[in-house]
Every structure is written in structure tokens, then in C-alpha cells.
Copies of this chain bind each other. A is one copy, B any other.
Amino acid sequence: MSTHSTPNRVLRLGIIAAVAAAIWWTPAPEGVQAEAWQLLAIFLATIAGLVLQPVPMGAVVIMGLTATVFTGTLPIRDALIGYQSPTVWLIVSAFLFARCLNKTGLGRRIAFVFIAMFGHKTLGLGYALGLADLVLAPGIPSGTARTGGVLFPVVRSLCSAYDSEPGPSSKRIGEFLMMTTYQIHSVTCAMFLTAMVANPLMRDLARAVADVEITWGGWALAASVPGVVSFVALPILVYVMVKPEIRRTPEASDLAQAELTGMGPMSRQERSVLAVFGGVFLLWVTGSWTGLHATAVAFLGLCVLIVFDVISWDDVLDERSGWNALVWFGGLVSMATMLSNLGLTEWFSGFVGGYMEGWPWLPVMAILVLVYLYAHYFFASLTAHVTALYAPFLATAVAAGAPPYLAALTLAFYSSLCASLTHYAGGPSALFWGAGYTDIKGWWSVGFAISVLFVAVWMGIGPLWWRTLGLF
């Protein structure tokens, strides 16, 4: 937040205004309505705002929406259309679920259970932390809240338990645990529709751009095999590269057991959360058969949690991250929806399609994915990356003839996988980098190696699996 200082702010607002003006005053290409072109100018300026953040994200988006109305680009109801999106409310609900996991201590308990079970060796400890992240992923749609909020304190205390602090002793075990936990979150984020905050945004964008409907179960199914393979391979790769000095960790398991003993048996509230989450996941997974919308299921879970006093209405109103996501996410959905409704998305596809005619879609898709992945070196937020690049890359892939559902899912997966690359890649990277266990060279080389692993798995095994599923 310290980056929002005033002189800086004026400069940044100036750049954003310049982006808007430059596009606004460029004549609209033939076949594009004036409103669509104006909206594109405001939309791209908003994305510049998300990257530069002269004011926090939510405020940037409100400014964008205000601009659409005051310039006569959109009527007010269309500017607010995103707030009707069930996807937006799914995210708000998921933040409330995350609150339940934190508030009741169930999240920590799950981490300690896995450590007690698998944490006898250093590598096992890495898997234990990863498994905790994986189990929590469907219910905590924010890497910052999950890997940063729940797991980071556990990792940090494990490091201290082995006298592995930033500096020379970081090599004992700290660097390995920090890197593994952070890096594995790039995989868990990619595995579920509700595991990363921008995932549902991509579902909406995919609907608008490529006319495909991604369900919770469809996402999880397609991600499962490459996800599990990367999940298994990743700690080994980090282990080989980082070479932790401590290899056996029986104490970690004892420590976790002591923590669990200290926590006592599961409280009524924890059991309620577990039961509700079990039910919600079941209904999410079976959603494509039952026809129950994921958001309605989430609302039902929320109602049960409120009636059984697991979460109070005051807790709901206090869930600032949820309201934040509602505002910025809803506003972006408004703009994306209206860009599509005004025909710009279709025009862009046709425009790109003209150049793509006759090209084989497989190599085009492979190049698009690689560019999309490594473009994340230039972004400090997964959401900014998704907002800026997902729709045009998907439109291009589809224009080149790629099967729309496959292209939509593939790009969606890489939108999380790219988090491996840098120490500024997304929310939790600030925490894990800030802990001081790795230098930039260490992070970037491990991050790059992992990105190569991801490419191998998600471009090698992934397509075989998706072919088996009949996605193309």
C-alpha cells in the first residue's frame, strides 16, 4: 500500500489517462462500433491501472466503470452487469468459506495432520505441506489467504524448529520448505475453479470469447492428471536443486503431533465446517449432472454455516477480501461482458482469424501458451495477467482453429502455473520471498526449472489426458 504515495499517484494516473486517450483518439477499425472502441480504451486503461495501481484495485475498477458511464459509452445498468454474475458471488462465498477454515482452526489442523503423517523425512514434509495446500485449495480461492495465510506460518515455525533461519542456516531445511510450499501452490491454484481468484473470471471470459461453459467438475477433471503428476514431481525437483542439508525430520512429525494434541479433539464448529464442505464439494463435483449451479451450492453451504453459528453475519460483513473481490471482479466482468455484447470480441476473433487462415492450430496453440506463460515475467499479479491477456490469447487460439473448450482450459491452467517464475509473481510470493530464505538467483533458477517441468507435463501428458477425455 506504500506504493500509493501522492506524487507517484499523479504520474501513474497520468499514464493511465494517456493509455485511454491514445486508444480513444485512434479511429476505430472498420466494423467496430464507436461504443465498443471507447469501452476498449477504458478497459485497457483499467488494466494499466491494475498494473500501476495509483489507487487500490477496487478503486481503479470503480473509476473505470464511472468513466464508461460519464463518457456515454455504457448505460449505468450495463456498467453494473458484472455484479449480477453468479461467478462473482461464488468468489465472495469462497472467501467466506476460507474465513471458516481459518476461524475454526481447521486449516491449521489439516496442515498438522499431514505433517504428522508424512513429515518424517524432509521430502515428505514438502509433500505434507503440499497436500494441505491441495486439500484447502477448492475452498480457499486466494493463494494469499491459503498458502500465505494458513501455510506460511506453519512453514516458518517448522524452519525455526530446525534452527534454519535466513542466512547461512537457510540451506539446512528452510529454503527447501519455503520454495516447495510456494511453488506447489502454482499447481494447486491451477487445479480447481475455486482455487485462485481469477479462475472464475476466466470461466466468464471463456463464455464471452469462445462460447464454452466450464463447470467446476469439468475444470477439476481436466486438471487432475497433469496436476497430480506435477504435484508429485515438483518437490523432487526442488529437493534436487536446493539440496537441503537436513534429510530426515522425525521431530517435525512429533511437533505436529504435539500441536494436534494441544488443539484437542475437533470442535463442533470444525466438524460442521468439515461436513458442510464435504457436502459442497460433492454438489460441486456432481454439478454437471444435477444441474445445480456452483454459486447456489455455495449459498446453501453458507446458509447452513450461518444457521449453525459457525460463521456469524458479523463475520460475513467483516470479510473485507470478499467485498474487495466483489467490487473489482464484478467491474471487470461488466467490462468484459459488454466488450463481448458490443461485438468487439467477435470482431477481434475475425480480425486475427484472417491472418491465421490455413495455419495448423497445434503449433499456433503451443506458441501462444509459451508466450502467455513467460509473459508473466512482466506481471506482478496473476489477475492483472489474466485480465490483460487471457481473452485476446483465447480469441487468437480459437481463430487459429483450436478446439475452444481445450484452448480455454489450457490457457486457464497456465494462468496459475506462471506463478512459479518470479518472486513478485503474485500475492503469496511477497511473503515467501520476504521471509529471506532464497536469493533472487535461487528463486529464478528454481522457478524457471519448474516452469520447464510444467511445460513438459502440461504439454506432454496434458494433451494425452485431454484426448482421452474427448476434449479434442
Contact = CB atoms under 8 A, between A and B. Distances in A.
A52 to B, nearest CB: 14
Contact of A86 (B58, B62, B77): B77
Contacts of A302: 62
Interface in A276-335: 292-293, 295-296, 299-300, 302-303, 306-307, 309, 313-314, 316-318, 320, 323-324, 327, 330
B86 A84 contact: no
Interface stretch (A65-73, A232-240, A263-271, A395-403): A65-73
Nearest to A302: B62
A69 B316 contact: no
A20 B316 CA distance: 26
Interface string A50-91: 000001101100110110011000011101110111100100
Contact of A66 (B65, B86, B300, B309): B300
Nearest to A334: B84
A317 B114 CA distance: 35
Interface of A: 6, 9, 13, 55-56, 58-59, 62-63, 65-66, 69-70, 75-77, 79-81, 83-86, 89, 292-293, 295-296, 299-300, 302-303, 306-307, 309, 313-314, 316-318, 320, 323-324, 327, 330
Contact of A13 (B9, B59, B69, B307): B307
Nearest to A316: B58
Given A58-B313, A299-B69, A320-B318, A307 B9 contact: yes
A75 B292 CA distance: 10
Contact of A303 (B62, B79, B86, B299): B62
25 contacts: A55-B306, A55-B313, A56-B313, A58-B316, A59-B303, A62-B303, A62-B306, A63-B303, A65-B299, A69-B296, A70-B292, A75-B293, A76-B295, A77-B84, A79-B296, A80-B85, A81-B84, A83-B83, A83-B89, A83-B330, A84-B84, A313-B324, A314-B320, A317-B323, A323-B323
A116 to B, nearest CB: 35
Contacts of A62: 299, 302-303, 306
Contact of A59 (B65, B306, B324): B306
Nearest to A55: B306
Contacts of A63: 303
A70 B317 contact: no
Contact of A296 (B66, B81, B296, B300): B66
A267 B212 CA distance: 54
Contacts of A83: 83-84, 89, 330
Nearest to A90: B76
Given A55-B313, A76-B293, 5 more contacts: A63-B303, A66-B296, A76-B86, A79-B296, A317-B323
Contacts of A9: 307
A292 B59 CA distance: 21
A3 to B, nearest CB: 13
Nearest to A79: B296
A316 B75 CA distance: 24
B76 A80 contact: no
A392 to B, nearest CB: 26
Given A66-B303, A303-B59, A76 B323 contact: no
Contacts of A299: 62, 65-66, 69
A422 to B, nearest CB: 25
Contacts of A13: 307
B300 A70 contact: yes
A316 B321 CA distance: 11
Contacts of A295: 76, 80
Contact of A69 (B56, B80, B81, B293): B293
Nearest to A83: B83
Contacts of A293: 69, 75-76
Contacts of A330: 83
Contacts of A75: 293
Contacts of A309: 6
